[in-house]
Every structure is written in structure tokens, then in C-alpha cells.
Amino acid sequence: MEVRGLEKRFPIRRGFLRRTVGAVRAVDGVSFDVREGETLGLVGESGSGKSTTARAVLRLDPPTAGRVLFRGRDLAALGPHELRAARRHMQMIFQDPYASLNPRMTVGGAVREPLDVHGIGAPAARDERVASLLRQVGLPADVADRYPHEFSGGQRQRVGIARALATSPGFIVADEPISALDVSIQAQIVNLLLDLKESLGLTYLLIAHDLSMVGHVSDRVAVMYLGRLAELGDAESVLRTPHHPYTRALVAAVPVPEPVASARPRPALLRGEVPSPAAPPAGCRFHPRCPHATALCREREPEWRDLGGPGAAHWVACHHVDSLPQPS
């Protein structure tokens, strides 16, 4: 998956005639690649544009501008029938297992629906495929006739994962797949996703808030702030030695055991709130909250810089990355 200059804007309409008076710039010029077989973690605060990016990548919400190439094909150039065929290979696991399943449809019907839509397999064999998918995600096959309200949140998310796997996709977007679940269930779902990646050779775009989980499952991490990327690189490099002040603040906010916390100084946490994407600040988007901001940050947008060595790219968008205290 190649994403180039992706933008998504939502119009702001007011008045009796609902005239457009502005736009929410939810995603504003985002570019990244998702390599085959890897997990790319996309992190950032609420409202940074992560979920909108995911939906725009899959064209669930058509992008305002930019290009998305899946296996070399520009999704924007595909007609309705070609796009439907391409979506067989791209699926999504939604954040809320309570809202993503039709309450009037059995879980077996929900898992079978992609098979019917794409005409996969003989009709008589689809029920067996449904049973196999349910077993694959850790549910007994005999639950196919039950309805979503009869399941716990973790079980519903397993159904959602089974539905995403129905068409045998190679690329899956997982939008906060554990955030709506009990803490006791989250590790089970994470381990399930890891097992499925290993056994099926899947590629993930994983959106999450939990940086410790992202570091555990991701090969690379992209940090997003107010519609733009701030840092991108190998997971260990970004999370252990973050260079952008925003990434450092996110890492500093991760809870650590008390003996460890008392043994090292903690960086100052962020001040203020995320500005409105309807009126983002000029220059660096992060400068109103950055302790290192200067007049240059307020006037000019920073360019991407590669701070990594050969074969280990580590991109950062910060004017003063060379003069900041080096991460320990």
C-alpha cells in the first residue's frame, strides 16, 4: 500500500442555505507505505486523524486529494466494479464491536455476507467456510445461529475479525481493535491478531492509542498530529529514541512501573489542547504546545528529514531536531 499526499476535508456548512464557510482538515497531506507482511502502527491523540486516514485509505470515505495505490493500482482510478473486486483483498476491523455488527443478523450471516457479496465458493460450501472461520478466531462453530447481543465484547470482536478474514484478504486495517474491550480481554485479541498474521501472512495497518501494545506488535510506527505525520520509522527506534517533541511527550505519558519511574526523570507532559482541524495553526502544527518552538516554527512548515542510517529510515518533521536534547 502506497499513500501519497492524502487529504480528507469535511465541509462546514452554516445558515439557512447551508453554504460552505470552511472545512475541517482531518487529514492534510499524509504520505506513507505499508510493506507487504509488516504491521505499521499509526498512533496519536484523539482527533489527530488516524481513523479518518484509515477510512480514506480503503475509500470508505473518498479522499479529497492524494493517491492510494494498492499493489500498484490507483484505487481512485477504479470503477465501482473494479473497486469492489479490489476490496476483496482489503478489509477492516472496526473499533466498536457493539456497533459494527447488525443486531438483526446472526453472526453466521454476518461472516457469510462477504462470501455472498463477492461470490466466493459454492453456496453449499459457504456454511462450512463460516464454521471454519469461527473456529479460527476461537469461537465454536455452533454459535453461527446466535445474535450479537448474546455475546460479550471480546466475542463480538472475534466475530468482526472472522468477517474481515472471510474473503482471504492480504491487507487489513485494524482501527483501535481493543480499545472498547475489557483489559482482561485485550491481550487475547492482540495475540489472536499476531497468530493470524503469522499463519495467514497478513499485512496490518494498526491504529491504536496504547503505545506499549503498538511497540509489541508493530514493525514500524507512524506518529500523527492534527492531520499530519510527525515521525515515522522502525518501532524500536521511534518508541525508544523518539526525536520529535510530540512523540517524546506521547512516550512520556505511557505508564511505567513505580521502581522504574522513580529511577529516571520524566519529560514534561504536553500543555494545552489540540487545536481545531478547522483552523490549524500556521507553520508547524505542533508549535502552540511545543516547549522548543521558535519564530521559525510559527512561520514555516517543517520538512521531512531522515535521521536513520542506511536501511533504517527514521523520518522526523521538526525544524530543531538537531538542537534538541538527545533522547536517552
Cell of 328: 536517552
Distance, CA of 223 to CA of 209 (rounded, Å): 11
**C-beta pairs of 19-23 under 8 Å, 24+ apart in sequence:** 22/278, 22/279, 23/278
Q: Partners of 327 in the beta sheet?
A: none
Summarised one tens digit per residue, pLDDT across range 2-32 is 999 999 999 999 888 889 888 999 999 999 9
Q: Taking 60 as the threshold, does the pLDDT of residue 293 lie above it?
A: yes
Instruction: Report d(CA 98, CA 270) in Å as an integer.
Output: 33
- Of 142-151, 250-259, 276-285, the least confident: 250-259
Weakest-pLDDT range from 16-20, 249-253, 324-328 = 324-328
How far is Cα of residue 130 from the mean position of the Cα atoms in its chain? Answer: 27
- Output phi, psi for 265, to 5 deg: -70, 145
Of 1-15, 93-107, 167-181, 258-272, the poorest mean pLDDT is in 258-272
Task: Report d(CA 169, CA 205) in Å as an integer.
Answer: 13
User: Averaged over 66-74, what is the pLDDT?
Assistant: 94
Give the mean model confidence (pLDDT) for residues 234-245: 92
Q: How confident is the model at residue 137 (pLDDT cuts 50, 70, 90)?
A: very high
For the purposes of burial, counting CB atoms within 10 Å of the CB of 123, is it exposed (0-12), middle (13-18) or buried (19 or more)? exposed
Task: Write out the three cell numbers for 214.
Answer: 503498538
Q: Average of pLDDT values for 97-123?
A: 93
Residue-level pLDDT at 98: 87
What mean pLDDT, rounded, does the chain reach?
A: 90
pLDDT band at 89 (very low <50, low <70, confident <90, very high): very high
Res 261: pLDDT: 53
Query: What percentage of the chain exceeds 70 in pLDDT?
Result: 94
Nearest residue to 110 via CA among 90, 133, 136: 133
- pLDDT confidence tier of residue 42, bands split at 50, 70 and 90: very high
- Listed range (137-141, 142-146, 216-220, 309-313) with the worst mean pLDDT: 309-313
- Report the run of H or E that residue 228 belongs to, with start and end: strand 228-234
Report the pLDDT averaged over residues 94-103.
90
Mean pLDDT of 55-77: 93
Q: What is the CATH number of domain 2-89+169-311?
A: 3.40.50.300
pLDDT tens for 155-212 read: 999 999 999 999 999 999 999 998 888 888 999 999 999 999 999 999 999 999 888 8
Share of the chain above pLDDT 90, in %: 74
CA distance 181 to 184: 8
Q: Is residue 112 scored above 90 in pLDDT?
A: yes
Residue 310 has pLDDT above 80, yes or no: no
